[in-house]
């Protein structure tokens, strides 16, 4: 009976984590941890800024969608973060994100919390971070494997 409950828990826990973190994907590719976030933000957002801090076994990501002003529309945005240098082990990802006008406070703030495991081979030294963002006129900054998309491709993906 205990084995049956454990199997059910292993099947349901990833589903629960995905539900809490809709649009956020965590994948290990060799020594690199890929963090992807698909979200809808105001059409006036021109930049996605990220702050990433590792504190013990908690990886904290803060994502700020910076807008010129507020428009009456929303469109898709995508953040891609590549983190290297994490040691093998179990971690907690806490991803907070929100929209704000330049120089202002976020109007809404959402927090996602989920767990992930880094397997060998991994780092153990200094954390290295590469970021990339796209959507509604943001030009991708060049993380390999993420080609620029046209507005019609973004819009089709959003519809």
What predicted TM-score, i.e. pTM, was given to this entire model? Answer: 0.71
Closest CA to 24 of 67, 65, 61: 61
Which residues are CB-contacts of 157 (< 8 A; sequence separation ≥ 6)? Answer: 76, 149
User: Which of the 8 DSSP states describes residue 120?
Assistant: S
As a whole number of angstroms, the distance between CA 70 and CA 45 comes to 9
Tokens representing 53?
Answer: 């801090």
Task: Collapse the DSSP code of 72 into the 3-class scheme (helix H, G, I; strand E, B; otherwise coil) and give the result.
Answer: coil
User: Residue 2 has what pLDDT?
Assistant: 47
Reported as a single tens digit per residue, the pLDDT across 68-120 is 888 888 889 999 999 999 999 999 999 999 998 888 887 888 999 999 999 87
As a whole number of angstroms, the distance between CA 37 and CA 19 comes to 14
Q: Which domain holds residue 119?
A: 2-158
Quote the number of domains for the chain. Answer: 1
């Amino acid at each position: 009976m205990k084995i049956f409950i454990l199997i059910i828990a292993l099947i349901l826990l990833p589903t629960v984590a995905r539900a809490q973190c809709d649009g956020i994907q965590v994948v290990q590719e060799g020594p690199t941890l890929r963090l992807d976030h698909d979200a809808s933000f105001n059409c006036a957002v021109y930049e996605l800024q990220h702050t990433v801090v590792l504190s013990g076994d908690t990886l904290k990501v803060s994502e700020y969608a910076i807008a010129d002003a507020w428009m009456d529309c929303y469109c898709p945005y995508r953040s891609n973060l590549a983190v290297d240098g994490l040691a093998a082990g179990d971690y907690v990802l806490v991803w907070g994100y929100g929209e704000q006008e330049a120089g202002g406070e976020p109007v809404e703030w959402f927090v996602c919390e989920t767990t992930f495991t880094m397997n060998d081979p991994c780092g153990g030294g200094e954390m290295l971070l590469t970021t990339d963002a796209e959507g509604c006129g943001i030009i991708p900054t060049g993380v390999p494997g993420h080609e620029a998309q046209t507005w019609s491709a973004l819009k089709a993906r959003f519809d």
